[in-house]
Amino acid sequence: MVGDERIAVVTGASAGIGEAIARRLAARGWRCVLVARGEDRLRALAAEIGGEVEPCDVGDRDAVEELAARILERHPAVHLLVNNAGIPARGNFLTVDLDRIRRVMEVNYLGGVWCTRALMPGLRAAAEHGGAHVVNLVSVAGTAAFAPAGAYAAAKHAQLAFSRSLAAALRGSGIRVHTVLPGFVETESFPQKGVLKSPLLAMFVIQPPRVAKAVVDAVEKDKAEVTVPWFPYRPIAVAQAVMPRVVGRFAGMSDYRPGSVPMSTEPEPEDNARSLSPPTHSAKSGSTSE
Ligand SMILES: NC(=O)c1ccc[n+]([C@@H]2O[C@H](COP(=O)([O-])OP(=O)(O)OC[C@H]3O[C@@H](n4cnc5c(N)ncnc54)[C@H](OP(=O)(O)O)[C@@H]3O)[C@@H](O)[C@H]2O)c1
């Protein structure tokens, strides 16, 4: 660490919400360690914002331990970890590819667990000198089951339980845990406007910088849980808790446009590290959920 430099590790930083978070953090003086699988795009962003590049598949526990060892060697204190890397899994539980169910758990849920545990020595070191933060990028799909993306919602429910449990376990340690729950956000893997069938749901789609602001605000203003945007998603989460059948029926009625959901007999959308040129947004360019 150089002087008073604050170190942030941001996973899934090569695109979408993670990229927006890294840009916002860098603009506020943080030095970002950028993590994703696609090295080219990380390099391009790092050159722009003065960050560091660490290619890694967060679903691979051994790779995450090696990643943490490299980061901690350079930065014994890590002031902020943003667990943002994630993939979609569109389709209900009767149609979604079985390997995709496992993969979405490995990346969206376990990836954050592996990163948090592996970087804990750095977070504790920062906590001893002023405090440290963990942000978990969950989703409204972690609070209300969205049947058209059932496996995604299940992974996000697990991630939410992880985030809340971690917050309780770390109380008093100097490491604050923040949970951010976005609704639909327009990104490469989640091209919401193109795939959502309901014009009502499409009306509430937001852009990544709005989520990035919510993340940085959560850290700076010490907010435990933030839903972005608050309306209509917070009331939906409350309704899920008190009227699960009504919300289940509503979610079951909403769906994706025909042709935008892979059938179990079709190959899954590419889950490879992305190249420098972003794919064009189309209903077929990836699966979606919230
Ligand atoms: N967009 C939405 O509507 C929405 C709503 C609520 C919550 N979220 C959550 O927000 C997070 C970011 O999603 P996004 O919409 O910004 O998607 P995105 O634009 O597709 O970005 C996903 C990022 O995660 C990285 N990534 C994917 N798999 C990875 C792996 N195994 N290891 C390391 N990095 C990996 C990707 O880079 P590589 O492919 O190069 O690895 C990319 O940088 C996810 O957790 C998602 O569930 C999204």
Q: Is 86 in the pocket of ligand 1 (CB under 6 A)?
A: yes
275 C-alpha to ligand 1 centroid (Å): 14
Report the pLDDT value the prediction gives residue 265, as an integer from 0 to 100.
Answer: 38
Residue type, 271: D
What SS3 state is found at 32? strand
Residue 267 has pLDDT above 70, yes or no: no
Predicted confidence band of residue 247 (pLDDT cuts 50, 70, 90)? confident
Give the pLDDT score at 2.
54
Model confidence at 8, in pLDDT bands (50, 70, 90)?
Answer: very high
Cα dihedral 51/108/119/23 (nearest 10): 20
Average pLDDT over residues 147-175: 97
Would you list the DSSP string of 49-89?
A: HT-EEEE--TT-HHHHHHHHHHHHHH-S---EEEE------
- Mean pLDDT of all residues in the chain? 89
DSSP tag of 91:
B
Lowest mean pLDDT among 16-20, 171-175, 240-244: 240-244
Asked if 142 contacts 109 with a C-beta cutoff of 8 angstroms, the reply is: no
Q: How far apart are CA 105 and CA 58, in angstroms?
A: 11
Q: Which of 48-57, 91-100, 258-267 has the lowest mean pLDDT?
A: 258-267
Mean pLDDT throughout 14-39? 98
Pocket test for ligand 1, best of 42, 56, 87 (most atoms within 8 A of CB): 87
Q: Which distant-in-sequence residues (6+ apart) come within 8 Å of 203 by Cβ?
A: none
First vs last C-alpha separation in the chain:
36
Look at residue 233 and tell me whether its pLDDT is greater than 60: yes
Torsion of CA 114, 120, 122, 126, to 10 degrees: 130
Distance 172 CA to ligand 1 centre (A): 31
Q: What is the DSSP letter of 189?
A: S
Q: Is 247 helix (H, G, I), strand (E, B) or coil?
A: helix
Confidence of residue 164 (pLDDT cuts 50, 70, 90): very high
- Identify which of 141, 140, 123 has the alpha carbon closest to the alpha carbon of residue 132: 123
| Whole-number pLDDT of residue 269 | 47
**Residue 127, pLDDT above cutoff 90:** yes
Predicted local confidence at residue 3, as pLDDT = 61
**Does 84 contact ligand 1 (Cβ within 6 A)?**
yes
Confidence of residue 35 (pLDDT cuts 50, 70, 90): very high
Active site residue 152: yes
Query: Count of CB atoms within 10 A of residue 236's CB?
Result: 18
